[in-house]
Amino acid sequence: MNRRGAPLRGWWRGVALLLVLLAPLVRAAEPPPPPDLDQRAGFDQRLGAPVPLDLRWRDTDGRTTDLRRLAGGKPLLLALGYYRCPNLCDVVLQGMARTLAGLDLAPGQDFQVAFVGIDPRETSGDARHSQAMLAKAQPGAQVDRWHFLTGDARAIGALASAVGFRYFYDARLHQYAHAAGFVVVTPQGRVAQYFFGVSWPPASLRLALVGASQGRLGNLVDRLVLLCCGYDPTTGRYSLAIGRTMQVLGVGFVLLCGAWLLWLKARTRA
């Protein structure tokens, strides 16, 4: 029995060795990225820029809608990509789902989430399939409350330009090249903050949503943290702002001294 299996094991070793030897040739056959990739795909930060909320889109049921109606006066997390993306988009969506699962704010209740497809050839069926797959993979993210949208080339181009999302179709790879991340939009339709990459701390996203809500979300602690922290556009995250921190500490010290003096005055009168 062992003697019969020996030639078979040797054959598989030969196949494995052949695959290892051919791997560099396969990689070499892949077309290199275009030399101007960084100029054609990326994010141009346009903080405070207006977002066209009234552009028309199709939801997963094929119904026409717009971002103003979907946002409903709440902060909006807006991501752009495409549903048939073989690489980056799924990683971005998975990262968003993991981050949202760690929030104590709820999508659909405290804020809204919209993923807009940049490929005008995609359909509501593609959007519906992506939503179902993500909901199954990330049950704690309440993906059923997200909005997965498709649209025509004009609407896609207008929205992408407004938020500074640069992308292009690479005919050699039959794929779209684009940036990774999402945008936080205020209820009034202004760009509030960018989150770059594929992984983000829930605490940073919470601060962004509280700040974008303009007092509708969060508590006193959140507002004090926002006073002491500043949004860093180079990283897309919050960092400690020394100047603001010193101002807050200075005001707190003055108030504490005033309260102590009032207490001493009241005690002297007694």
Q: Is the pLDDT of residue 251 over 70?
A: no
End residue of a domain, out of 203, 218, 233: 218
Give residue 42's domain range. Answer: 38-218
pLDDT at 13: 54
Q: Is residue 265 domain-shared with residue 214, that is, in the same domain?
A: no
Q: Break the chain down into helix, strand, coil percent, rounded to 5.
A: 50, 20, 30
Q: Which of 37-51, 92-106, 239-253 has the largest mean confidence?
A: 92-106
Tokens 């039959």 belong to residue: 174
Q: Is the pLDDT of residue 230 over 90?
A: no
pLDDT at 236: 52
Strand partners, 107: 111
Residue 63 or residue 29, greater confidence: 63
Q: Is residue 75 domain-shared with residue 174, that is, in the same domain?
A: yes
Q: Is residue 69 domain-shared with residue 184, that is, in the same domain?
A: yes
Q: Is residue 75 domain-shared with residue 175, that is, in the same domain?
A: yes
Instruction: Examine residue 88 and state whether it is found in any structural domain, yes or no.
Output: yes
Instruction: Examine residue 86 and state whether it is found in any structural domain, yes or no.
Output: yes
> Which residues in 147-255 belong to E strands, given as ranges?
147-149, 165-170, 175-178, 181-185, 191-196, 229-232, 237-240
SS3 label, residue 172:
coil
pLDDT at 35: 56
Q: Is the pLDDT of residue 137 over 50?
A: yes
Using pLDDT thresholds of 50, 70 and 90, give the confidence band for residue 45. Answer: very high
Instruction: Examine residue 72 and state whether it is found in any structural domain, yes or no.
Output: yes
Instruction: Examine residue 9 and state whether it is found in any structural domain, yes or no.
Output: no
pLDDT at 175: 92
What is the H or E stretch that residue 141 is in? Answer: none
| Domain count of the fold of the chain | 2
pLDDT at 257: 56
| Span 46-61, average pLDDT | 97
**103 touches 110 (CB < 8 A):** no
Question: Which two tokens mark 266?
Answer: 């009241």
Assign residue 214 a region: left if phi > 0, alpha if psi is -120 to 50, beta otherwise?
A: left
**Where is average pLDDT lowest: 84-88, 146-150, 194-198, 238-242?**
238-242
What is the H or E stretch that residue 77 is in? Answer: strand 76-81
106-131: pLDDT as tens digits: 999 999 999 999 999 999 999 999 99
Instruction: Examine residue 255 and state whether it is found in any structural domain, yes or no.
Output: yes
Residue 127 or residue 235, greater confidence: 127
Estimate to the nearest angstrom the gap between the alpha carbon of 259 and the chain centroid. Answer: 45
Instruction: Examine residue 18 and state whether it is found in any structural domain, yes or no.
Output: no
Residue 215 or residue 238, greater confidence: 215
pLDDT at 240: 45
Q: Is residue 149 domain-shared with residue 177, that is, in the same domain?
A: yes
| Span 245-261, average pLDDT | 48
Q: Is residue 175 domain-shared with residue 229, that is, in the same domain?
A: no
Q: Is the pLDDT of residue 246 over 50?
A: no
- Closest by CA to 67, choosing from 167, 190, 181, is 190
Q: Rounded to whole angstroms, how far apart are CA atoms 182 and 200?
A: 10
Q: Is residue 244 domain-shared with residue 196, that is, in the same domain?
A: no
End residue of a domain, out of 177, 192, 218: 218
**57 touches 68 (CB < 8 A):** no
Q: Is the pLDDT of residue 261 over 70?
A: no
Instruction: Examine residue 3 and state whether it is found in any structural domain, yes or no.
Output: no
CATH number at residue 157: 3.40.30.10
Instruction: Examine residue 5 and state whether it is found in any structural domain, yes or no.
Output: no
